[in-house]
Amino acid sequence: MTNIDGAFNGLVRLAIMGVVIGAGAIAVVAVLDRLALDQRAAERRALLQRNAELNVSTLAPGSVLSCIDGGAGEAIESACEKAVFASPETAAGAVAYIGARLALLADAHAFAQTGESTIADVFAPARRAVELDRYGIVAHVLATRDGCTAERCAAFALLRDTAALKANLRAQAFDTYVARYAEVWNKPQAVAVKTPQAPAPAAGTPEPAPSGQPVSSKYDFPSAASIPPVSIMNAEPAQSKSDQSKSDQSKGEGEPAVPVPLRRPQAQAATPPAR
């Protein structure tokens, strides 16, 4: 009996240890699953945050990045082309933006392979903009960064339609745009200087001669000797009576005479009464 009891107790202890180990393993697996879920959730949030930041950069005032993503028609795209290649800085900014877009699409594609296939719907507009490859910027980034050609490129796996991208890789479209607008970039900007214009001379006034040239002989100027000296320190001479009368007479002739009001009639003296 003693041996049987000992064996039974040993089995019980082994069973208890197995239950404990099994419970611990289940707890560890649950924790690991929870950590994995938290990690995937964090990765998903990080991807969405990066996508939101890129979208905000296209909406910034004065940004030309929206021209790369949007499809607003031929007339607007023609104006967008001039805005994207307006300067070396705007063209370089567009290249950096597309590089960030491609890196984000690659990370989203890798994340979708872990079972998060719904993430692909979030990045569908960005993927479509890359597939259109306006101005050949995507092809330029893939060729210079990843060494892609029209026949072989790992980034093709991220896309569904690669026809435009392959055509731009063959034609080197981005280099064509740069060569077209480089002439404008290197052209010096002419600064117009507005000089004030002198007022037109009055009628009959001789025009001033250019510096160093004599005045035309058709103008007759009085000499300095013919002008009598005038002193501002002496008082003006008093006018004589004859000059004063002539001045008054000229004023009377030149100006209308002021009418003198008639005198009121005086009342006649009363006739004395008859005696």
What is the secondary structure of 243-275 as a DSSP string? HHHHHHHHHHHHSPPPPPPPPPPPPPPPPPPP-
In this structure, is residue 61 part of a structural domain? yes
Instruction: Tell me the whole-structure pTM to 2 decimals.
Output: 0.57
- pLDDT tens-place string over residues 67-126: 887 665 666 777 888 999 999 999 999 999 999 999 999 999 999 888 778 888 889 989
Domain hosting 162: range is 44-185
How far is Cα 193 from Cα 195, in angstroms, rounded to an integer?
A: 6
181 contact partners, CB below 8 Å, separation of at least 6: 85, 86, 91
> What is the Cα 238 distance to its own chain's centre?
77
In this structure, is residue 63 part of a structural domain? yes
In this structure, is residue 233 part of a structural domain? no
Q: What is the mean pLDDT of residues 37-47?
A: 84
Tokens at 85, concatenated: 């290649």
In this structure, is residue 101 part of a structural domain? yes
- How far apart, in Å, are the Cα atoms of 159 and each of 65, 109, 129? 21, 10, 10
More confident residue, 134 or 138: 138
Structural domain count, the chain: 1
pLDDT in the model for residue 134: 87
Residue 193 has pLDDT above 50, yes or no: no
Inter-residue long-range contacts of 60-66, CB under 8 Å, 24+ positions, other chains counted = 64/90, 64/93, 64/94, 65/93, 65/94, 65/97
In this structure, is residue 49 part of a structural domain? yes
How far is Cα 186 from Cα 3, in angstroms, rounded to an integer?
A: 102
Mean of per-residue pLDDT scores for the chain: 74
Q: Residue 187's pLDDT band (boundaries 50, 70, 90)?
A: confident
More confident residue, 199 or 52: 52
How far is Cα 274 from Cα 272, in angstroms, rounded to an integer?
A: 6
pLDDT in the model for residue 268: 46
In this structure, is residue 143 part of a structural domain? yes
Residue 235 has pLDDT above 60, yes or no: no
pLDDT in the model for residue 16: 74
Contact status, residue 174 vs residue 117, Cβ threshold 8 Å? no
